[in-house]
Each structure stands twice: as structure tokens, then as C-alpha cells.
Structure 1
Amino acid sequence: MTAYLRPRSGDPAEPGTPPNVQVTVDGHPVTALAGQTVAAVLLTQGRNSWRTTRHTASPRGVFCGIGTCHDCLVVVNGTPDTRACQRTIQDADTITTQVGAVLPHPPTTPQPHNPADPAPRNATDAELDNPTDAELGNPTDAELGNPTDAELRKPTDRAQGETAGPEPLEPVAPLNATASSPHADASAQHTSPARHLASTPPPKAADVVVVGAGPAGVAAALAAADEGASVVLIDSGRAVGGQFNRQLPVEFAPRRPERLQHGWKDFAAQRDRVATHNRITQLSESSVWAIEGLRLWVQRGPADGVGRDVFPVNAKAVVLATGAYDRVLPFPGWDLPGVYSAGAAQALAKGQRISVGRRVIVAGTGPFLLPVAGSLTGVGACVVALLEANSLQTVRKGWSTDPLVASSKLREALGYGALLARHRIPLRHGWTVTAAHGTDHVEAVTIARLDDDWHPIPASERRIEVDAVCLGFGFTAQLELAVSARCDLTTGPDGGPAVVVNADQQTTTPGIFAAGELTGIGGAALSTAEGRVAGAAAAQHARSPRPNPELPVSPASTAPPATGRTRAARDPGVRSASDDGARAAVVKGRRFAAALAKAYPVREGWRDWSRADTLVCRCEEVSRGEIEEAVADRGVGDGRGLRLSSRAGLGLCQGRVCSRTVAELVAGQNDVPRPSMKRPIAVPVRLRDLAEAQEEL
């Protein structure tokens, strides 16, 4: 057993005592805590893995921790392909190991636990045969249905300049489940509106729909609502905050939640305003799985469950604030259970009070590694080392390109430095993990010193015993909806793909705005500022009789601030101090993003960490050698041809984890990598739910 639940005694957040919940795990009764995810329950039971892969039967458990990688799939109440890190347990849930590809069992409804009930049976060999694409949940065009022109008026069918979505739009009545609570702070923090709204009709339309409730999305929703627009705020979490402001479940009832989060006071104020704003409808435990013009297709209910509500929401303007996920680079053993993304380790620590191990090593590049180490120490882990791949000289040189923005983070950096010193965590620049060792779980790692281009220096290798590895080499933006909306992309400051926007955060698609990590990785402060600008501009667009013709022509990192732009509700030429403050914060934030990318670049030497037999695509278990063979022997180098030829990127995560890695491995020396981001189905949606929804639409 490596992962564990931090004891409540001495926990700085001072959590309460959650109610017990009775579940069954592989036929054995287990007492869990209300509010825990399935992954948290399994980890606290000493389970490091609960799925085996289709091709080699290799063990898998939590990897990304935010529902992106699909490594942690498990069978819940007879339904396979349930992401354990996303699904919150319910009383009497039956959880079963997912062996290979599993056919769905007849759906079951959890009943109150009775110890006298017989234990559920495990799946038979016949039930574990390879399913068809349809059974795996990969819909065809026919299965998705072909809506009529009146239902879905695609941009190609409209006259130029015509706004998308049926008119007139019906007003949205506020549905916030927390609005009437007499205890605004506690209830607004944790209440899941999706659960309370299960029996209420979903909203049909809004002036502005905001996708994502992280720093950018929350700021956008408030800005749009303050401008008088009706807003629907959609997020897959049980509460607002996203990954940056992740909170403990309501069932944990923490007395001091501010001890787990920087800037808690400001976030709590925003959270409470969202919960009580009469023009904001919040849809938690909900996700947008497709976008057609300005119509968004939403599913609402427990993650990956059967019977989720599927419905469209029409908008006059859309703000995409879908965030980003960790980038992890491959090396031998990176697919072992016990290897986590840095974000997964922090999400489990902050959101579930789970430590991923007792002896943990943190490696990668960027300042995000510091709060990850802090979160791990907060749940009692021993962080044996924090390895920064870039040399101290590279980091200093990068920050020196803009000393003013660097100095703004000095106080925060000193705080983390004190934390490392207090817990005696060595920070080593120019080092990284180059291999993980173990049979069914990580037992040790090899670390090596790197040169300035990240090539391992011969004879510098050292072996260290650990039971968990946390990795983070920057972030990749969640671009599925932006690509489906036909927004143009550019290369962000960190070299990854980003959405092109103008100074109003308007994308190249009329009515679609983007904010946060979508426009370039730059941190929470920049995301918040962009959200404020995007929300206000989207509200103005929604009230305009025709779309704003001033579409962007330059990347977000170089777009100048707008000058003289007005709001429909104000006198021409008048801008508020709030407008100017948000736009100034965006300019400053983009300067910070540029300096950040220079201080923590990802160098090409990482290719030397892997071998021909090292897996690159975790889902389809495709090795680096197989990818290189497809390029050399079959002459494929483009995204689609390479996927079809090598299978890399065709698995359950649809290339989210491996697409940038594959693109860089096959790119020419002077080529700009072009990872594939085309995923028309943005998140998993079950065919059964689509079929039932089709009958009602």
C-alpha cells in the first residue's frame, strides 16, 4: 500500500467527519466516506491499479487525475469505462475491476446496503470479449443523428454575417441551487446544483454560455452577468473553481479551507457571487460534448453514468474557458501505476486529502511543481526531491527578460522556498527522472543530470527508492470545442497550440470568445483578467444587432489592447475603470506568460530519455519504435495518416496525452509540430443517452 488518506487529526484544513458510505469493491464490502471519488476509495483500500489494458493486460490506475487520460477506467454498477477520478461514489455502488475491454452489464440502480445481500459476481470471460466500436461508446454519424436545418443551422448554411442559433432566444430563469441557502459560504462552496436540478427542465437558451468554471470561466460569467446578460455557466465539477481553486467536498466540511489555497478570500467572494447572482444559471456535473455554431450540446449528471440528461443550449455568444491539462514526457516505465501527472497528485491532495505515496519524487519544469510539492507535504508525504529540468542559469536568464513581471512573483517564490527548507526538500536544477522501475507499481526511479538542452549527462545517473512519481512539463490547452467551432489556432508562448483572439478575446469565429489557458499558458491571474474581458465583450456581442466584424488577425500573445471600444449599455467612447483594469491585467499577464516560457522551456533533449520499446501512446500501447517505423517505412508524417497507420492517438483519450509528443517526435528539425486537436466529440457521451435524448428532441 502506498497511497493513503491523510488522518483528520492535525490536518491544516481541519476537515470534519464525513458520513460513511457502504460500497462493494470486487465482491467485498467496503466502508467509504461520502464525497470521495471512486479513485479515492480504491487508493485508500491499497489499490494502485484497477484496470488492465486491452493489448498486453498491463495494470493501470490514476494518471492525469482530471478525466483526460482514461487510464483509471473502472466498472460501476455494471457500467464499464467509468473514470474513477471523476465519479463521486454513491451509497451501495458496486465497483468492479475493468479487465481489458468490457461489455456493459444490464444497468443497475444502487440500493441501500444490506450486509446479508450476496456479493456481486465478477464478469465472466465471455462478458470480457472485445466490444464493437458502438459498444465502446464511439458513435458513428448515423448514431448521432442528422438534425434538420431548423434544429441545427450550421455556419456553412447561413448567409454571411448572420448570427447562429434560433431566434428569438427564450430567457433563462436562474436555477442556482445555492442561491437561497442561509449559509452562503459553506453551501456555495460545495453544493452540487446538478444534483438539485436533476428533476428541473434544463435551460434552453441564454445570452452568454460560458464553458468551464475555473478562474477564466468564473470571471467571464460574472462580467457578462454584471453587463445585464443572462448567463449559463457549465462545468464538469461538483463546484466552481476548476483545477486551480479545487475544493474539498461538502461532506468533508473543512473549517479552514483557506489553508489549502492561495488567494482563498478573493476566490470565495467570486464563488459566492456566482451562487447568488440572479442572472447566472450554474450547471455543475455537466459537460459540453459538442458544439454546432452557437448551439452547445450538454450532458448533465454523475460523470460517465447511465441516464444523463442530454440537451442543447442556444446562445447569442459563447465564452470557451476549458482550461488545460498536464503535459508529461515519456521515458521507460512512465506507464507504471504510481507514476502520476503533477496535477493528479495535487488534485487528490487538495480535493480528497489523498497522498499518492509516502516517498514521492516531483520532477518536470515550471513553477507549478512548487505548489504540488506543497500539497504533498500537506497530506503528510515525504517529498524526497524536487527536480527542475532546466538549469538555474536558464531560469534566471528567462526571468531577466522582463524583471518587472518576475518581481511580482517574488513573494510567492520566497514562500515556497521557505516551505522546501522547512520540510528539507532538495531543489535540484538540471535534473530529471529518466526511468521508473517496478513490476506492478513504481518501486524506484533513475534520475540523471541534464545539459542545457536536456540530454542526460553520461555517468550522472542515480537510483532512488520511491513509491510515487509526479511529473509535469507544462500544460496543453483543452482545444476540442474551439477546433469544432472552427476557431483559428496559433503557437502559444510555450510552443503549444493556442486559440487566436483579439483584444476583446474574440476568436476568428463570430460569437465565440476564448479566455484562459486556451489562448496561451499564462497562469491564473491572466486567466481571470482574460475572463473579465471576454465576458463583458460577449455580453455586448449578445446585445448587438449584428456580429462584431473586427475579428482577430494576430495571436493572443501579441494582440494589442483595445482602444476606444464601447459597451452598448454605456455612452459611446466611455469605458469603466474596471474595463481598463482588466485590459491592463491582460497585458501584464501576457508579459508574464512570455517570460515564463523563456524561463522554463522544454528542450529537445527529452527525446533521449526514451527507447524504441518505450510506450508513447498509453491507450493503444504504441511504442516510439512503431511510430518511427510508420514514418520511415510507410511514408506517413501527417496526423491522420500517422494515427491510422500506427494507432497512436486512436485510443480512449483520443491523443490528448500523446499527440504533442508524437508530433514532436516526427517533426523535421526546423518544422513546427502540429499536434492533432480535432475531436468532434469533446468528452465521452454514451450512445444510450443520445438515443433517449433523440426521441425527445
Structure 2
Amino acid sequence: MATERPHLAVIGAGPAGLAASLAAAAHGVRVTLIDSAAGAGGQFYRRPPAGLGARHPEALHHRWRTWRRLGGALAARVEAGTITHLADHHVWCVEPVGPVGPVEPVEFVVHALLGPLQEEPVTVRADAVLLATGGYEKVLPFPGWTLPGVVTAGGAQAMLKGGLVVPGQRAVVAGTGPLLLPVATGLAAAGVEVAALVESADPKAFLRWPLALAAQPGKVAEGVRYGAQLLRHHVKLLPRHTVVAAHGEQRLDAVTVAALDTQGRVGPGTERRIACDTLAVGHGMLAHIDLAESLGCRIDGLNVAVDEEQRTDVPGVWAAGETTGIGGAALSLAEGHIAGRSAAARLTGTRPDPHTWARAARSRRRAREFFAALDTVYAPPAHWTEQVTDDTVVCRCEEVTAGAVRNAVDELGAGDVRTVKLLTRAGMGWCQGRMCEPAVAGLTGCEQTPARRLLARPVPLGVLARAGDPEND
């Protein structure tokens, strides 16, 4: 019977979670796929709901065939009963039950909240857990960044992909990272006048990574296609530039951009003002590691550490995709497949096919090398904090300014992000520092370290009180 099979809980239904679920289910494991979105696919495969009647949703994607294959396979597995897909479920804690050791198996209880109001508690028991929780955008402040009309690059893309709406009529796309290209071209194709793509990186820096580029000809061709689309839509490309301020009274009406010198500082006299009603800005991504941290998984820098099988150092816990390091959809698919096969092998006592395993491992290695090069090239300007004025709000939840953060360091002796948090309340709001931590770390001159949050998201006190009641399991 299906219910007698080993049970794997996969948290996150993006590329990594989908690949892992399908691989595990194909090899004799019962899978529960848990995700906070209303539909599978994550941000990369985000689609408009059927009710909007989009005639060509594939126009918003460059890997639609892959999604059709993954989505079709998931639907077939759900119909067959080998995968249970719990959409709109927000996981706030994963709890090991029983002894935890290097050999002994552990049962896990996944605690989630159901629905948009996140008030109905749900628990899922499983023999193992696979974390595919993805990543979120890194946000760096600048004067005016809290104005209406300033959105994250991923937010602008989500509006377009998920709602078929655009954030404005004339946009500037700015920051750094490969996400800026699809955002700029997507907005332009949707009829938005994209006044400029402002990229702080220097494209010539890619020439220092010839082997990584040669190993990914598809990615290079993809970049060329984006460049051609920018030219076709007359989008001005400003490399080695950055946004230094956003302007407006009630909402955004212009931005000031400036050129960067070789040290990452704004060049005097290079400022120019660009009229716009939308600024889509992003400075890369950070991994979602809250659940891994609460389980005691080893963290390498700001990513979950895994071995060649995508296993964490906690028995019964695997991790794949952006949570182990930002690397794009192709890397997430490869890691998810490896993790799903590994989990199935461990739970069923079988061995994966070596040829299939080798192909996925080869794809993973090449993708990791490519994105290691991207991480080096697409780094925020080294001296971005010099443009953050003292009256610039850094923590939006608690309305803490950059001046307050600097005062905590210079006058009160704070030497790390946690102490700044205690002295200023920066990071104590609804997002628990996810938005402001990079900024606070930069302003204090400290390296950003894992926050070690006990819970992955805010939880109603009543739900938390009932979580330990056996009658609620």
C-alpha cells in the first residue's frame, strides 16, 4: 500500500523541490510536497492564474518546455497518489522526534500554517525531510528607496508573471545580478518604457572566467538573446553605474544614477537624473536557511552545507537548490534530482543508477562553476554605504535610520549586527531582519552571519501554544 512506503516531506515546490519530489516518488517513496504558494513552480516558473485567461503564458518564460514536463509529471504523480501536494501551506518549524544521532533514524514533524491568513495549523509526519526553500532578494538601501514606485527586481517580475500587471509606465531597472536582464526585457516586452538598465558590474570582468563560460554555452547564448532584446526595445545599458538616490514627493518621479570607478566608488560629477515612475532594483539573492538552522544543520557562510548527495550533517535531512547556494534553475534542478534520488535510496535501501547519478552530478558541477564566476562579477559596489545618508531608513519595520545604526557603532560601541539590533531594534520587526540584515551588516562593517531564528516565520501565539499538545498531532 502507498501509505506503507517510506515518507519524505519536501519543503518548497520550486525547481529543486519539484525535481526532488519526482525523483523520490519514482523510486518507491511516498512524498508530501509542501509549499507556501498557491501553485507549484516557485518564482522561476511563476504563472498567471487560469482565471486571468492568459493566451500565451509561455511568453514570460524562456524554459516553458521544462515547466510543462515538470508540471505534467507532478500532476500525474498527484493523481496516482504517490505525491501529495499541499499548496498555500507556510512551514514555520520542522521538529525532530526521537533520538538524534549519526546512525539512528529520526521521525520529523513539519509544522505549517494553512491559507492566506496563516491561522489554521497543519502537521505532517515524515521519515525524512528535504529542504528546497529557495532564496529571497538582497536589498540595500539608498536615499528615497522607501518611496512608492520603488520595488525589488523580483517583485516587478512577480507582478508581471503572476498577475499580468506592470508596476508603471516608465521604469529604470538597477542594481546587479543576472536577474536584471529578464526583468528589463520582460517589462519592455510588456509595453513598459525601460529608460535604462543600470548595472554596477563591469561586463569585461567575465573575460577572467573563460573556462566557466565555455562550459555553459547555453547560458552565454541566453545572455546574448537578452542583449538583443534590450537593443530592440532601445533600452540604454549603463554598466559600472549605480543608483544613488530616488526622488519624489508622494511617489517616485526620478532617480539619480552615477558612474563607479574601479574601486566601486561614485565618480564625482558623473551623476545624471532619469525621469521614471518605477525603479526595479536588486542586488542579488540570499538563501532561505531558517528551517535548516533550527534543525541544527551546519551552515557554510550563508548557505546550508551539504555533501555530494545533498545530505546535510543532520541525519534524515537533505537540502537542494538556492538554500545551498544561489545558482539558478538549472543548478536547482540538478541538485533536486540528486537529493531526491539519494533520499529514496537511503529510505528504501536501494542504490541509485550510477549513470543517471553521474549525469546529474556533472550538470551540478558545471552550473556551480558558472555561478561561482557570476558571484564574483555581480557583487554590489564595494563602497555602497558611502551613499547612504544618516536620515535614510534602513529597517523599514521599526523605522530605524542609518544614522541610528552608525551611532550604535560609533557612540555605543556595538561591534556586530546582533548588538546593533539590541540597541536600535533594527531587525526586530515583522520580517525579523531578512530585509535589513545585509544593510545593517554593511553599515557596521561586519560580515553578515546567520541570524539563528528559532521559527521560520511569525506564528500566532495560540498556534504555538497548541503545537506541543499530542492531541493536535
Alpha-carbon distance, 1:395 to partner: 3.8
Mapped partners of 2:3, 2:465: distance in 1: 26
Task: Report what 2:22 is aligned to.
Answer: 222
Alpha-carbon distance, 1:589 to partner: 1.1
Query: Do structure 1's residue 528 and structure 2's residue 319 form an aligned pair?
Result: no
Contact 1:516 / 1:526 at 8 angstroms: preserved in 2? yes
Alpha-carbon distance, 1:405 to partner: 3.0
Alpha-carbon distance, 1:276 to partner: 1.6
Task: Report what 1:310 is aligned to.
Answer: 121
Mapped partners of 1:453, 1:280: distance in 2: 52
Which of 448, 453, 460 is the matching residue for 1:674? 448
Which has the larger share of helix?
2
Contact 2:130 / 2:318 at 8 angstroms: preserved in 1? yes
Task: Report what 1:619 is aligned to.
Answer: 397
Q: Which has the higher contact order (CA 8 A, sep 6+)?
A: 2
Per-residue CA deviation, residues 39-96 of structure 1 (Å, 9 max, x unaligned), is xxxxxxxxxxxxxxxxxxxxxxxxxxxxxxxxxxxxxxxxxxxxxxxxxxxxxxxxxx
Task: Report what 1:187 is aligned to.
Answer: none
Mapped partners of 1:537, 1:319: distance in 2: 10
Mapped partners of 1:520, 1:676: distance in 2: 14
Query: Do structure 1's residue 376 and structure 2's residue 187 form an aligned pair?
Result: yes
Which of 240, 244, 248 is the matching residue for 2:40? 240
Which of 47, 66, 84 is the matching residue for 1:281? 84
Which of 485, 492, 495 is the matching residue for 2:295? 485
Alignment CA distance shift 1:580-1:418 (3 Å): same
Secondary structure at 2:178's aligned position in 1? coil
Which of 109, 118, 132 is the matching residue for 1:295? 109
Task: Report what 2:145 is aligned to.
Answer: 334
Mapped partners of 2:461, 2:387: distance in 1: 40
Task: Report what 1:501 is aligned to.
Answer: 306
Which of 208, 212, 228 is the matching residue for 1:418? 228
Mapped partners of 1:600, 1:423: distance in 2: 24
**Letter of the aligned partner of 1:296 in structure 2?**
V
Secondary structure at 1:354's aligned position in 2? coil
Q: Which shows bigger deviation, 524-533 or 290-299?
A: 290-299
Alpha-carbon distance, 1:620 to partner: 0.8
Task: Report what 1:558 is aligned to.
Answer: none
Task: Report what 2:408 is aligned to.
Answer: 630
**Letter of the aligned partner of 1:292 in structure 2?**
E
Which of 208, 212, 235 is the matching residue for 2:12? 212
Mapped partners of 2:43, 2:429: distance in 1: 24
**Letter of the aligned partner of 1:569 in structure 2?**
T
Contact 1:223 / 1:532 at 8 angstroms: preserved in 2? yes
Mapped partners of 2:362, 2:211: distance in 1: 19
Q: How many residues align?
A: 457
Task: Report what 2:284 is aligned to.
Answer: 474
Secondary structure at 2:341's aligned position in 1? helix
Mapped partners of 1:266, 1:576: distance in 2: 23
Alpha-carbon distance, 1:452 to partner: 2.4
Which of 317, 323, 330 is the matching residue for 1:512? 317
- The 5 A counterparts of 1:248-647 are 248-277=48-77, 278=80, 279-293=82-96, 294-301=108-115, 303-305=116-118, 308-397=119-208, 399-400=209-210, 402-491=212-301, 497-543=302-348, 568-570=349-351, 575-647=353-425
Per-residue CA deviation, residues 422-450 of structure 1 (Å, 9 max, x unaligned), is 11001111111110011221111111111
Per-residue CA deviation, residues 440-478 of structure 1 (Å, 9 max, x unaligned), is 211111111111232110011111111010011110111
**Letter of the aligned partner of 2:94 in structure 1?**
I
**Letter of the aligned partner of 1:243 in structure 2?**
Q
Contact 2:385 / 2:442 at 8 angstroms: preserved in 1? no
Alpha-carbon distance, 1:690 to partner: 4.9
Task: Report what 1:109 is aligned to.
Answer: none
**Letter of the aligned partner of 1:507 in structure 2?**
T
Secondary structure at 1:636's aligned position in 2? coil
**Letter of the aligned partner of 2:381 in structure 1?**
R
TM-score by length of 2: 0.92
Alpha-carbon distance, 1:517 to partner: 0.9
Mapped partners of 1:407, 1:453: distance in 2: 31
Alignment CA distance shift 1:206-1:632 (3 Å): farther
Per-residue CA deviation, residues 92-143 of structure 1 (Å, 9 max, x unaligned), is xxxxxxxxxxxxxxxxxxxxxxxxxxxxxxxxxxxxxxxxxxxxxxxxxxxx
Secondary structure at 2:32's aligned position in 1? strand
Mapped partners of 1:641, 1:626: distance in 2: 13
Q: Which shows bigger deviation, 247-256 or 512-521?
A: 247-256
Unaligned runs of at least 5 residues, structure 2: 97-107
**Letter of the aligned partner of 2:427 in structure 1?**
G
Secondary structure at 2:117's aligned position in 1? coil
Contact 2:200 / 2:381 at 8 angstroms: preserved in 1? no
The structure having more radius of gyration, on CA atoms, is 1
Q: CA RMSD in A?
A: 2.0
Alpha-carbon distance, 1:585 to partner: 0.9
Alpha-carbon distance, 1:691 to partner: 5.8
Contact 1:330 / 1:609 at 8 angstroms: preserved in 2? no
Unaligned runs of at least 5 residues, structure 1: 1-169, 174-204, 492-496, 544-567
State, as a whole percentage, how many aligned pairs show the same letter: 42
Secondary structure at 1:409's aligned position in 2? helix
Query: Do structure 1's residue 683 and structure 2's residue 425 form an aligned pair?
Result: no
Mapped partners of 2:236, 2:127: distance in 1: 52
TM-score by length of 1: 0.63
Mapped partners of 1:317, 1:582: distance in 2: 22
Mapped partners of 2:406, 2:206: distance in 1: 33
Mapped partners of 1:648, 1:452: distance in 2: 32
Contact 2:133 / 2:323 at 8 angstroms: preserved in 1? yes
Alpha-carbon distance, 1:406 to partner: 4.9
